[in-house]
Structure 1
Amino acid sequence: MSKKIMLTGATGFIGERLTRRLLQQGMEVRALCRNPKKARMLLPPEVSIVEGDLDAPAALQKAMDGCEEVYHLAAYAKVWDKDPQAFYRVNVEGAERVLQTALACGVRRVVFTSTAGVLGPSPDGKAVDESQKPVVLSTEYERTKAEAERIAQHYLDKGLEIVIVNPTRVFGPGQLNDSNAVTKLIALYSKGKFRFYPGSGHQSGNYVYVEDVVQGHLLAMEKGRIGERYILGGHNVSYREFFDKVAEVLGKRYRMFPLPLSLMMGIARFEQWKADTWGRPPLITPPFVRKYHYDWRVSIEKARRELGYEVTPLETAIAETLRWLQAAV
C-alpha cells in the first residue's frame, strides 16, 4: 500500500539508499533538500524535491504536508567546523524543528537517526546496549545528537510517535563522503595507500553494511516501539581483524604499521592549531584521537528481537563493497 513519506538527508550516504528502497516499495517520496540541482543528480526522478533547509519552517511544512511518515536523517557529522555552533544548529535546533513540524502536520510516525556514538565506549570490552546510562561524550557531533535525543522525549510526551535508531560505523556502496569514511579506507587499502593502525590496532569497533542500516530504518518504522531506541550495528571487530578480512577478500595483503596514539595526538593538535589559525578543516582532531583509546562494541540483540533485524556477514559486505569500488573506477 503506497504511503506519502518525507525524508531529510535524502542526498546523504544512508538517505539516498533509503530513498531508493522506499521507491522500490511503491512509496511516494518527498525530500527536503538544500540544493535541488544536486538532489536531482543523485535521486531518481520520481522523488518530489522541496527546496529548503532545517532552519526553514515553511519548507519543512510544505515537505511534510500530507505525509504519514518521516525519516529524519539530516545531520552535521563533520570532524570540525570553524563555527562550533554549526553542530547545535543542525543537530539540535534542526531536529526540534522537524519534530515540531511533524506534530503540527499530523505525521503518524518519525524515525530519527542518531548515532551509536551517544552510548559511549564499551567498558571492559563488554558490548553496550540501548540501556547504557549517559556518559561524557568526546565530540560535538555526539554531544549534539545526544541532546537531540533528549529533546525527542518532549515530543513523545506531546503524542508524537518517535523511534530512534543508532547506526554504528556504516560502510558499503554509495557516496564517498564523511559519513562513509570506512569505505574510503577500504578503497585506500585496496590501492596500498592506507597502511597503519591507530594505536596497536587491537581496539574494537562495530562495522555495519549500509543495506542493513537501510533495512533497520524500515523495520523501525514498521515495528519499532514508540519512544525506544535501536542500535543498528553489525560486527564487533578490531582494526586489525577488519583489515585482515579486507585483505582476505581482496586477495592481496599489505603490511600495516601501528601508529602510536601519542604521535596521533601530536598530529591532531597540530591539525587543530592549523584549523583554528587559518580556518582549514583538520584531518583529525584531539577528541577523535581520544576515542581510539577505547573499545566501541555494541549489542544488536534488541533490534534482532523486536524488529527482526539481521546483518550481512562481514566477508560478504566487504566483498560487495570492493566489487562496487572496482566497478566505480
Structure 2
Amino acid sequence: MLISGASGFLGSALVRSFTGAGFAVRALVRRESPRQNLSGTGAEVVEGDLNDAASLRAAVSGMRYLVHAAADYRLWTREPAALLRTNVEGTRAIMRAAAEGGVERIVYTSSVAVLKPSQAEPSDETATVEAHAAVGIYKRSKVLAEEAVRALADDGLPVVIANPSTPIGPRDIRPTPTGRIIVEAAAGRMPAYVDTGLNLVHVDDVAEGHLLALRHGRIGERYILGGENVALSDMLAEIARQLGRRPPRVKLPVGAVMPLAAAAEAMSRFTGKEPFVSFDALRMARQRMFFDDTKARRDLGYRSRPWQEAVGDALAWFRAAGMIA
C-alpha cells in the first residue's frame, strides 16, 4: 500500500500503524523532506510530489491501497496560491492516479477544518462548512480538497474520508501549530491565553482510526477521528502540571491579541517563517473547536486514549528532540 506524506507527523504514525498491522508500506515523501521519522519502520521510501503527476503515477503503480495524508498544513503563508495548489490540485491528481492505477480502496485524510464549529454542542460529520465561509487559506483548501474527493467518489472512486481533529504526540518534527503551542507553553513563553478550546487526540490513535477506516469504512462517508474536547486553559494547565510549573492565569479577549498578530505577520512577511499567532488563528479561536466522533466509534470500532497521555507523549518527544528543556 502507498501512504503519502509519510515522513510527517501524522504520516509517520500511519506508517507505523499499517506496518504493525502487517501491511507492506510504500512511503511517498518529497525529495527535501527529512526522513528520520521513518527510521526503523521497514517502509519502502519513494520520492514524489503532489505537484508532479508523473511521480504520483509511478508511486501508486502496483498498489492495492492508498492513504493520502500529504498536505501543506500551515495557518499562514506568504504564498496562499501554492498551498491551495498542493492541497486541492495535488489531492485531485493523486486520486486520479490511484483511479487510473486500479487502486482498490483509498482513505483520504481530510480534517475537521471542513466542519462548522457550533457554540451549542460539539459538531459532527453533518456540519459541513462552505468554502467561502471557511476561516483562512488552510481551512478553505481542505474544504475544496474534500469537495474534489467527494465528486470523484460519486463517479466511483473507492474512497473513505477520515477527518482528524487535533492530533498531538510524538514525532511532531515541524512542529504543527498545536505542537508549537505545547513547545511554547513548556518553555514558559505563554503567560496568557484566549478563551477557546480544541478536540485533542493522540496521533497514534488517529493513525489506528485510518486503519479501521480502510477496513470498515463505507465508501464516500466521512468519519471524525477525535479524542476529547478540552479548553485551551485546561491544556495549558496540564502541560504545566506535568512539568511542575505554574500555569498561565491571564485570560485575554481575542481582540486584545490582534495587535500582536499584526506584528507577527509583518515580521513573517519579511522572514518567511510562520508566525506563532496570526489573524486567521485568532479568528478560529473565537469559537471552541469541539467535535463529536460517535460515528467512528460506533461504525468503525474507533477508540482514543486520554488526552493527558497524548500531552505527556508530546512533551517527552519534544524534550528528547531538544525542543524544550
TM-score of the two chains, using structure 1 as the length reference:
0.89
Paired residues for 1:92-107 under 5 Å? 92-107=88-103
Q: Say whether residues 1:323 and 2:319 are aligned partners.
A: no
Superposed CA deviations along residues 37-85 of structure 1, whole A, max 9, x for unmatched, are 7337744473222222112222111111111110101101113222221
Quick one: which amino acid aligns to residue 253 of structure 2? P
Q: For 1:307 and 1:290, locate their aligned partners in 2 and report how far apart those are by CA, in whole Å.
A: 33
Q: Say whether residues 1:229 and 2:222 are aligned partners.
A: yes
Distance of aligned partners of 1:195 and 1:296 in 2 relative to their CA distance in 1, 3 Å threshold? same
Q: Please tell me whether the aligned partners of residues 5 and 28 of structure 2 are also in contact (alpha carbons under 8 angstroms).
A: yes
Q: Please tell me whether the aligned partners of residues 170 and 318 of structure 2 are also in contact (alpha carbons under 8 angstroms).
A: yes
Instruction: Mark the runs of 5 or more structure 1 residues left unpaired by the alignment.
Output: none
Superposed CA deviations along residues 145-204 of structure 1, whole A, max 9, x for unmatched, are 11111111221122211111111111111133242x333333333343332212xx3x22
Shift of 1:11: 0.8
Shift of 1:25: 2.4
Superposed CA deviations along residues 246-288 of structure 1, whole A, max 9, x for unmatched, are 3333343234322332231122223334445675543332122
Q: Which of 204, 207, 212 is 2:200 aligned to?
A: 207
Alignment match, 1:292: 285
Q: For 1:294 and 1:143, locate their aligned partners in 2 and report how far apart those are by CA, in whole Å.
A: 17
Alignment match, 2:254: 261
Q: Percent identity?
A: 35
Q: Please tell me whether the aligned partners of residues 31 and 49 of structure 1 are also in contact (alpha carbons under 8 angstroms).
A: yes
Superposed CA deviations along residues 206-258 of structure 1, whole A, max 9, x for unmatched, are 11111111111111111111100111111111111222233333343234322
Q: Which of 154, 159, 170 is 1:157 aligned to?
A: 154
Q: For 2:79 and 2:178, locate their aligned partners in 1 and report how far apart those are by CA, in whole Å.
A: 26
Q: For 2:63 and 2:231, locate their aligned partners in 1 and report how far apart those are by CA, in whole Å.
A: 42
Distance of aligned partners of 1:30 and 1:205 in 2 relative to their CA distance in 1, 3 Å threshold? same
Q: For 1:90 and 1:306, locate their aligned partners in 2 and report how far apart those are by CA, in whole Å.
A: 31
Q: Please tell me whether the aligned partners of residues 7 and 37 of structure 2 are also in contact (alpha carbons under 8 angstroms).
A: no
Distance of aligned partners of 1:257 and 1:218 in 2 relative to their CA distance in 1, 3 Å threshold? same
Alignment match, 2:129: 134
Alignment match, 2:235: 242
Q: For 1:41 and 1:15, locate their aligned partners in 2 and report how far apart those are by CA, in whole Å.
A: 9
Alignment match, 1:32: 28
Q: For 2:276 and 2:36, locate their aligned partners in 1 and report how far apart those are by CA, in whole Å.
A: 30
Q: Which of 10, 19, 22 is 1:23 aligned to?
A: 19
Q: Name which of structure 1's ranges 210-219 and 15-24 shifts more when overlaid on structure 2.
A: 15-24
Q: For 1:277 and 1:184, locate their aligned partners in 2 and report how far apart those are by CA, in whole Å.
A: 20
Superposed CA deviations along residues 280-312 of structure 1, whole A, max 9, x for unmatched, are 543332122111111111001001000111110
Q: Name which of structure 1's ranges 43-52 and 231-240 shifts more when overlaid on structure 2.
A: 43-52
Q: Please tell me whether the aligned partners of residues 12 and 37 of structure 2 are also in contact (alpha carbons under 8 angstroms).
A: no
Q: For 1:211 and 1:67, locate their aligned partners in 2 and report how far apart those are by CA, in whole Å.
A: 24
Q: Please tell me whether the aligned partners of residues 91 and 145 of structure 1 are also in contact (alpha carbons under 8 angstroms).
A: yes
Q: Please tell me whether the aligned partners of residues 111 and 220 of structure 1 are also in contact (alpha carbons under 8 angstroms).
A: yes
Q: Which of 127, 136, 146 is 2:143 aligned to?
A: 146
RMSD of equivalent CA atoms: 2.2
Alignment match, 1:177: 174
Count, aligned residues: 320
Q: For 1:37 and 1:123, locate their aligned partners in 2 and report how far apart those are by CA, in whole Å.
A: 39
Q: For 2:72 and 2:314, locate their aligned partners in 1 and report how far apart those are by CA, in whole Å.
A: 25
Q: For 2:123 and 2:33, locate their aligned partners in 1 and report how far apart those are by CA, in whole Å.
A: 41
Distance of aligned partners of 1:323 and 1:31 in 2 relative to their CA distance in 1, 3 Å threshold? closer
Quick one: which amino acid aligns to residue 262 of structure 1? G
Q: Which of 89, 99, 104 is 1:108 aligned to?
A: 104
Q: For 2:56 and 2:165, locate their aligned partners in 1 and report how far apart those are by CA, in whole Å.
A: 28
Q: Say whether residues 1:56 and 2:56 are aligned partners.
A: no
TM-score of the two chains, using structure 2 as the length reference:
0.90
